[in-house]
Chains A and B, each alone.
Chain A
Amino acid sequence: MADVKQTKVDLNNLKAGGFIKERGKDLFTVRLRVPGGRMSVPRLKKIAEVAEKFGGEFVHLSVRQSIELININFKDFDAVVEELGEATQKVASCGARVRVPVACGGCEYNPNGLVDTQKSALEVDEKLFGTPTGHHKFKVAFAGCPFDCPKSATNDIGFQGAIYPTLDTDACIGCGLCAKSCVPGAIVMGDDNRPIFSDAPCIWCGDCVKVCPTGAWSEAKRGYTVRIGGKWGRNPLVGTLFATFLPEERVAEFIATVLEWYKEKAEGFGRVRLGDTIIREGAQALLDHLQGRFPGYTVTATIAPQVIATQVGSSR
């Protein structure tokens, strides 16, 4: 009689996903949870150790800032989880759940950053990671400024750091650096050699505040510009504006409120993303849902997520 050894796998480890089947027999990719892409050096060392012991010859850096261990045998799942756990490294998610948020470096060392995107990503990861949506995946991204390296509007909810500038005319020395720095052309120098600000072209990047030698330009408001309903993939959509200057401390609550609406409105429509749900229900329906809870931050009117014509596959 053959000595059959029963393989043991703790199925609780698989609940949030993050173990993704590969081509080969028994082999899986293990996607690691790296909110905001920040990886401490000791954790990185531990991951390298685990990859060397259980994985293939390389790891893969995913497009959403995760490190993925490649060629992990499913029989080693428990050992991989346990050894990673020694460095508090957790496994990420896949499927119809809230995914690990991505973020740029934020404002601690990046001179363009206006808000602490790293803090937001960690908070949202802690509070909402792995939440089942009941319908489809749910992606969140944080950009520290309107230059938006993380491409926030291609996410189900995208946050973009912003500040609204204000001018103290008495402190202005008329040097013109602000007008020179203002790429969108919201600031021009007047005949009296003082800056003239127009609201409409301003994208709230704060370059005027950063360059101003005397502090005459300062921030009147700070927070996130919030776009909802974006996605990429088969039929891309760009998310549209639902809130402005949302305070950093209300981000998790805001996402939870959108999730609540999505869970309810997509019910019965199968595997459908938030953006397509907004298109079906109308943007105003989601805006109404948000306006009561976030007065002063929600916009007065918006449009549905915008279809990107990829010229392949007619939109339904």
Chain B
Amino acid sequence: MQVIDLRGVSCPTNFVKAKLALEELDNGTVARILLDDGEPVKNVPRSLKADGHRLIGLKQVDEGHYVLELEKIDA
């Protein structure tokens, strides 16, 4: 499983970093994106959806951050 760790990265740098990381992946790859609570978890999933990727799920883990699972879709 590809993990893109964006904890400690603020908006919009986290979204741009996610875009760059997803560029490296093959179409259809499922990735986990780690996001901080607050603005990042509110903004980044929505922006990635708008880019055409398929959001699969979102879970908050014990450490407090969120794990967004998505499938990379080539636009």
Interface residues of A (CB under 8 A from B): 111, 173, 175-177, 180-181, 183, 207, 210-211, 213
Contact = CB atoms under 8 A, between A and B. Distances in A.
Interface of B: 41-42, 45-47, 49-50, 54-59, 66
A213 B42 contact: no
B38 to A, nearest CB: 10
Interface centre among B41, B42, B58 (most CB of A within 10 A): B58
Contact of A210 (B46, B57, B59): B46
A177 B50 contact: no
A211 B46 contact: yes
Nearest to B66: A180
A130 to B, nearest CB: 39
Contact of B55 (A111, A183, A207, A213): A213
A279 B58 CA distance: 49
Contacts of A210: 46, 49-50
Given A211-B49, A213-B45, A213-B49, 4 more contacts: A181-B42, A183-B42, A210-B49, A213-B54
A111 B66 CA distance: 23
Nearest to A174: B57
Nearest to A179: B58
A175 B41 CA distance: 13
A183 B38 CA distance: 10
B57 A175 contact: yes
A111 B45 contact: no
A177 B55 contact: yes
Interface centre among A177, A180, A183, A213 (most CB of B within 10 A): A213
Contacts of A213: 45, 49, 54-56
B6 to A, nearest CB: 16
Contacts of B66: 180
A111 B49 contact: no
A175 B50 contact: no
A175 B59 CA distance: 7
A180 B50 contact: no
A211 B45 contact: yes
B47 A177 contact: no
A183 B42 CA distance: 9
A175 B55 contact: yes
29 contacts: A111-B46, A111-B47, A111-B50, A173-B56, A173-B57, A175-B55, A175-B56, A175-B57, A175-B58, A176-B59, A177-B45, A177-B55, A177-B58, A180-B42, A181-B42, A181-B46, A207-B42, A207-B46, A210-B46, A210-B50, A211-B42, A211-B45, A211-B46, A211-B49, A213-B45, A213-B49, A213-B54, A213-B55, A213-B56
B58 A176 contact: yes
A180 B58 contact: yes
B56 to A, nearest CB: 7
Nearest to B55: A213
A207 B49 CA distance: 12
A211 B35 CA distance: 15
A181 B55 CA distance: 14
A149 B66 CA distance: 29
A235 B46 CA distance: 41
Nearest to A183: B42
Nearest to B37: A180
Contacts of A175: 55-58
Contacts of B42: 180-181, 183, 207, 211
A159 B56 CA distance: 36
Contacts of B57: 173, 175
Contacts of B59: 176
